[in-house]
Amino acid sequence: MPTASTSSAREILRGLHDVMASRSGAQAKLNKVVKIIAEAMASEVCSIYLLRDGCLELFATLGLNQSAVHVTKLALGEGLVGTIAEQVAVLNLDEASRHPEFAYRPETGEELFHSFAGVPIVRRERALGVLCVQHADPRPYDAVEIEALQTVAMVLAELIANAGLADKAAAAAAAARDASPARLAGLKLVVGMAKGQAVYHQPRVLIEHTVADDTEAERHRVYSAFRKMREQIDTMTSVAEFGTAGEHQEILQTYKMFAYDEGWSRRINEAIDSGLTAEAAIERVQQRTRMRMREINDPLLQERMHDLDDLANRLLRIVSGQLGTAAQMALPHDAILIARNLGPAELLEYDRRKLKGVILEEGSLTAHVTIVARAMGVPMLGRVRDVRRMIGEGDYVLLDTSDSAAFARPSAPIEDAFTAKLTTTQKRRAEFAALRDVPPVTKDGTRITVMVNAGLRDDVEALSAYGADGIGLFRTEFQFLVSATLPRRESQQRLYRSVLDAAGDKPVIFRTLDIGGDKALPYLEVGDAIEENPAMGWRALRLSLDRDVLMKAQARALLEAAGGRELSVMFPMISEAWEFDEARALVEGQRQWLADRRKLLPSHIRYGAMLEVPSLAEELDILLPKIDFLSIGTNDLTQFLFAADRSNPRLAERYDWLSPAILRFLRRIVLAAGEHEVPVAVCGEMGGRTLEAMALIGIGISRLSITPVAVGPIKAMIRSLDRARITPEINALLEKPPANMRAALSELAERNGVSIG
Ligand code: PEP
Ligand code: MG
């Protein structure tokens, strides 16, 4: 049943449809448009103002003096029209002259008219101009009329773009925004500096056609898009045990609520009734909701609006068939990627040479996407609220995560300061590079082993580039994450062999598959169990032992690749010592299989365990005699010790690695390992931070496996450190912890001349 608003909008849209299809010039079209609107709304005046050279210029009018066309101009924010454009908001007044911003323009002859309603003409969320109507009677326009005006304004945006008027107008609109540089604060996830063009991971759909030729066909399109979107959300929710696409359970629940919201689909249907295309109807409803939300101005609702925006964009992408992410499109050579959140596999799809930086609305330090970005050497800033409102697609952005900030559309002084800092950073990097061949020895003569974490073939280059002692953690699942299908044993073997070849005589520790948690493999069926807590679920070694076909193939690939040389292999997420026994037996079984066939075997196999589940610390007396080395995964260990999901952005800054809880726990492990003479390393992200690494060395750690770019700063820190001096001081702090351990350790570092950087 069409409502009053849909029928009045439909009447106008029908008229506009013909105008848009006609061959007349832009000005003639606008003249016809104001006439159609004025007649349909029985309005005495209808005018269109467009942005030109930063000013709103009267382009067409019916009812005001024609001599004012192209003469009357208002600055952004000036008068009623300027206010509407600046605030991208509607004004509906029964007595225009009473509004504080009213600016009288005698050339228009508008003193005859009292009531006034104006709506912004919006494209890409920016006002290109203003459409307004005026009446002699002092009465406000009703909601139905305003609604119709807004729908018409949307179509006008298309007409203006197609008529070539938008170029100038849009450029002016962009310029108006370009003039306002913005600083966005966030959480430093991967340290670095970058500059380039903003690219949305999920590009916004630009609506090409707004007026429908066939309303029923549009209704059908939107109906099937809704069905598809609901299916997608249902699947995402049910596979959320693997945190697909980095989306969080809570967001998925909100998506689900909106996706099934009858009110939303009904409003879109009504907009289609008024004559809009499916795309335009979705956008129209979204615009309306956005404006309402802004009026309510409630931060909680604003957050929900974000979810609805995401979902509307998803619906638009489905309906318009524009489904790919920016990774599948032509990227600029200097892309700064903007996303709400990403999964590690999604990030790996991007061309490393073109991706210069990432800004996320969410994100946390130890989420795997962050680890992947670190491995790719791409600076990443997280927890940037409103990033997609503040930075438009194509905006020029400076990213300086060491300052926890991004600058959109920077002013010249900001860019100059950035360039100066970049030069200093590059100089510092050169100084670190000079440490490449210098061994990391403390001032009192302890040689610390500094290895790197790796996961892709190219990462191996970091070994020589940074002068590391080996690869302390090779995350074998990365190969699985970047593949569209399950990598075959042969290709696993090829990768491992090439890594060993490239590492030469430096050791490489391969960690067996750690999938699950936030590392989802879309092609791997993991059963129908829905996990509420995937990080604590069926992942890593648990999955590998149960699905031993996968693990056997990997073990064989490792044994074959290391034929004739030493193989170091370690198992992730061991919670009890028997799991190590089973994993080792599985590898040994494969070794026997190869031996029976007289294949070339590794000269020696070193077996290690990762300690990342706290329970294992209570079984060290059972475990340590069985293993050749222990590696502490502080990323997982921290999340389990604190019961704080490592990929939950809300907890990203809540707990500190330098808390007494972590340091005391680690010191206990170091002491136990020492008693059994088992070498112990730290391979979590913690070890790559100078202050944290200082504390680790202070409690007795002498092996670190860290992200490659941290090797230089960590070596410099080690070389400035007197271990014998700081150890008793750190022990004393741990006996009686101060309220702020980080501050106390910083002070200790400064007092002892430790280079923290
Ligand atoms: C860890 O948990 O600390 C670790 C090194 O492994 P990952 O980050 O791959 O889980
Ligand atoms: Mg781990």
What would the DSSP string read from start to end of 145-175?
Answer: HHHHHHHHHHHHHHHHHHTTHHHHHHHHHHH
Per-residue pLDDT, 244: 37
Nearest-CA residue for ligand 1 atom 9 is 475
CA of 348 to the centre of ligand 1 (A): 18
Q: Is 475 in the pocket of ligand 1 (CB under 6 A)?
A: yes
Cα–Cα distance between 474 and 456 in angstroms, integer?
8
In the chain, % of residues over pLDDT 70: 92
Average pLDDT, integer, range 361-387: 86
CA torsion 369-372-377-382 (nearest 10°) is 10
Cα–Cα distance between 48 and 518 in angstroms, integer?
51
Per-residue pLDDT, 303: 66
**What is the DSSP code (8-state) at residue 534?**
G
Per-residue pLDDT, 719: 97
Per-residue pLDDT, 140: 83
Per-residue pLDDT, 240: 44
Per-residue pLDDT, 158: 81
Cα–Cα distance between 268 and 290 in angstroms, integer?
14
Here the tokens at position 461 are 């280059």
- Hey, which of 612, 632, 646, 669 would you mutate to test ligand 1's pocket, going by the most ligand atoms within 8 Å of its Cβ? 612
What SS3 state is found at 100?
coil
Average pLDDT, integer, range 532-549: 85
Which ligand has the shortest distance to the CA of 662? 1
CA torsion 522-524-525-529 (nearest 10°) is -70
Nearest-CA residue for ligand 1 atom 10 is 636
Q: Is the pLDDT of residue 241 over 50?
A: no
pLDDT digits (tens, 9 = 90+) for 38-90: 998 888 999 999 988 888 999 999 999 999 999 999 998 999 999 999 888 89
Q: Is 633 in the pocket of ligand 1 (CB under 6 A)?
A: yes
Quickly count: other Cβ atoms within 10 Å of residue 25's Cβ: 11
Quickly count: other Cβ atoms within 10 Å of residue 102's Cβ: 15
Q: Is 634 in the pocket of ligand 1 (CB under 6 A)?
A: yes
Q: Is the pLDDT of residue 421 over 70?
A: yes
Q: Is the pLDDT of residue 358 over 90?
A: yes
Average pLDDT of the chain is 88
Q: Is the pLDDT of residue 175 over 50?
A: no
CA of 478 to the centre of ligand 1 (A): 12
Q: Is 612 in the pocket of ligand 1 (CB under 6 A)?
A: yes
Per-residue pLDDT, 70: 93
Q: Is 683 in the pocket of ligand 1 (CB under 6 A)?
A: yes
Q: Is 514 in the pocket of ligand 1 (CB under 6 A)?
A: yes
Atom nearest to 477 CA in ligand 1: 9
Per-residue pLDDT, 430: 87
Q: Are 59 and 70 in contact (CB under 8 A)?
A: yes
**What is the DSSP code (8-state) at residue 74?**
E
User: What is the DSSP secondary-structure string of 637-677?
Assistant: HHHHHTT--TT-GGGTTTS-TTSHHHHHHHHHHHHHHHHTT
Which ligand has the shortest distance to the CA of 633? 1
Atom nearest to 631 CA in ligand 1: 5
Please list, in sequence order, all residues whose beta carbon lies within 8 angstroms of the beta carbon of residue 464, skipping any fewer than 6 positions away: none
Q: Is the pLDDT of residue 247 over 50?
A: no
Q: Is the pLDDT of residue 688 over 80?
A: yes
CA of 243 to the centre of ligand 2 (A): 15
Per-residue pLDDT, 456: 80
Average pLDDT, integer, range 637-658: 86
Cα–Cα distance between 240 and 235 in angstroms, integer?
8
CA of 234 to the centre of ligand 1 (A): 29
Q: Are 514 and 539 in contact (CB under 8 A)?
A: yes
Per-residue pLDDT, 299: 67
Residue among 328, 364, 331, 327 at smallest CA distance from 198? 331
Average pLDDT, integer, range 116-136: 88
- Hey, which of 636, 696, 706 would you mutate to test ligand 1's pocket, going by the most ligand atoms within 8 Å of its Cβ? 636
CA of 367 to the centre of ligand 2 (A): 10
Q: Is the pLDDT of residue 589 over 70?
A: yes
Average pLDDT, integer, range 613-642: 97
Cα–Cα distance between 493 and 489 in angstroms, integer?
6
Which neighbouring-strand residues pair with 632?
611, 682
Most confident range, picked from 147-156, 310-319, 611-620: 611-620
Per-residue pLDDT, 527: 55
Q: Are 360 and 341 in contact (CB under 8 A)?
A: yes
Average pLDDT, integer, range 648-677: 92
CA of 538 to the centre of ligand 2 (A): 13
Average pLDDT, integer, range 110-131: 88
Nearest-CA residue for ligand 1 atom 3 is 633
Average pLDDT, integer, range 619-625: 98
Per-residue pLDDT, 433: 86
Per-residue pLDDT, 63: 94
CA of 611 to the centre of ligand 1 (A): 10
What SS3 state is found at 90?
coil
Per-residue pLDDT, 245: 38
Tell me the pTM.
Answer: 0.67
Per-residue pLDDT, 650: 78
Most confident range, picked from 33-42, 228-237, 248-257: 33-42
Q: Is 371 in the pocket of ligand 1 (CB under 6 A)?
A: yes
Nearest-CA residue for ligand 1 atom 8 is 635
Residue among 535, 742, 571 at smallest CA distance from 646? 535
- Hey, which of 459, 478, 635, 666 would you mutate to test ligand 1's pocket, going by the most ligand atoms within 8 Å of its Cβ? 635
Lowest mean pLDDT among 124-128, 216-220, 237-241, 381-385: 237-241
Phi and psi, residue 727, nearest 5°: -55, -55
CA of 636 to the centre of ligand 1 (A): 6
Per-residue pLDDT, 646: 79
pLDDT digits (tens, 9 = 90+) for 82-118: 999 988 889 999 999 899 999 888 999 888 899 999 9
Which ligand has the shortest distance to the CA of 635? 1
Per-residue pLDDT, 7: 60
pLDDT digits (tens, 9 = 90+) for 176-212: 444 578 899 999 999 899 999 999 998 888 788 888 9
Q: Is 705 in the pocket of ligand 1 (CB under 6 A)?
A: no
CA of 252 to the centre of ligand 2 (A): 25
Per-residue pLDDT, 239: 53
Nearest-CA residue for ligand 1 atom 4 is 633
Q: Are 633 and 592 in contact (CB under 8 A)?
A: no
Q: Is the pLDDT of residue 588 over 70?
A: yes
Q: Is the pLDDT of residue 172 over 70?
A: no
CA of 470 to the centre of ligand 1 (A): 17
Per-residue pLDDT, 2: 43
In the chain, % of residues over pLDDT 90: 55
Work out the pLDDT band at 250, boundaries 50, 70, 90. Answer: low
- Higher confidence at residue 55 or residue 649? 55
Per-residue pLDDT, 166: 57
- Hey, which of 190, 475, 705 would you mutate to test ligand 1's pocket, going by the most ligand atoms within 8 Å of its Cβ? 475
Q: Is the pLDDT of residue 171 over 60?
A: no
Lowest mean pLDDT among 95-99, 522-526, 750-754: 522-526
pLDDT digits (tens, 9 = 90+) for 480-523: 877 777 889 999 999 999 999 999 999 999 999 998 766 777 67
Per-residue pLDDT, 167: 47
Per-residue pLDDT, 134: 93
Work out the pLDDT band at 678, boundaries 50, 70, 90. Answer: very high
Q: Are 728 and 699 in contact (CB under 8 A)?
A: no
Q: Is the pLDDT of residue 1 over 50?
A: no
Per-residue pLDDT, 42: 86
